[in-house]
Amino acid sequence: MSVWGIGNTRRPQRRAALGGHTDTVRSVAFSADGRLLATTGQDGAVRMWDLGGPGGPSPRATWNAHELGVFWAEFHPSGRLLATAGGGREAVRLWDVGDPDRPRRVSGITGHSDVVGHLAFSPDGRTLATASDDRSVGVWDVGTPAAPRVKAVLSAYATAVMGVRYTPDGRTLLTGVFDGTVRLLPTDFGRSVAHVCDGGRPSLTRGAWHRHLPGVPYRPPCG
């Protein structure tokens, strides 16, 4: 793996070669201030590098983050938290990297039934979106990192979800799927639910209701 200087984008300069992983490198992530670099591998390890030293990149820490490989890592906007995605019971884990030499597991997120291959923090750092091979996207409240809480599970996907990313204003979540589809989803779920019936006219007729829901009192959702 190489680190390149792109001050001149037409002539990138190779600054350093980084080793250490014993299997395929799956992702790299820079902290917001550009000083730290996290690399993840199929070997299940995360390696933390300091890029701010005068002698070039220097290793700070290496730890085993997931049993089935680490497929993605993302720094929290504050730079003090790192989220990793992989496989196993806790497909997502949060790590305190305030001291880059001594990363500490803060919490694990369960709920996906298959590996998580990608994740992203919202710009304000309070929400984490996770993309899984189980054909779903998880949206988690990580305002209290030690106790993540599910906000929504988006599951109307025909194939595995490849990636997630928030727009800079945090109002839209983009999801990319292996079938080539990209979806733009509003992040204000309460407002979306409140307006779900805006395009729902005409409502279900009484006859259609009783045909599909016999014995259930007529109560159309968009009456």
Q: Are residues 109 and 216 in the same domain?
A: no
Q: Are residues 76 and 135 in the same domain?
A: yes
| Residue 88 in this model has a pLDDT that exceeds 90 | no
Q: pTM for this one?
A: 0.83
Report the SS3 class of residue 209.
Answer: helix
User: pLDDT by residue (tens digit) across 35-86?
Assistant: 999 999 999 999 999 998 777 789 999 999 998 899 999 999 999 999 999 9
Domain, as residue range, for 198: 188-223
Confidence (pLDDT) at 137: 96
Q: Are residues 103 and 179 in the same domain?
A: yes
Confidence (pLDDT) at 43: 94
Q: Are residues 195 and 179 in the same domain?
A: no
Q: Is 88 exposed, middle or buried (0-12, 13-18, 19+ CB in 10 A)?
A: middle
| Mean pLDDT for the chain overall | 90
Q: Are residues 127 and 207 in the same domain?
A: no
> Are the C-beta atoms of 78 and 97 separated by less than 8 Å?
no
169/63 Cα distance (integer angstroms): 33
Q: Are residues 104 and 193 in the same domain?
A: no
User: pLDDT by residue (tens digit) across 1-25?
Assistant: 888 889 999 999 998 889 889 999 9
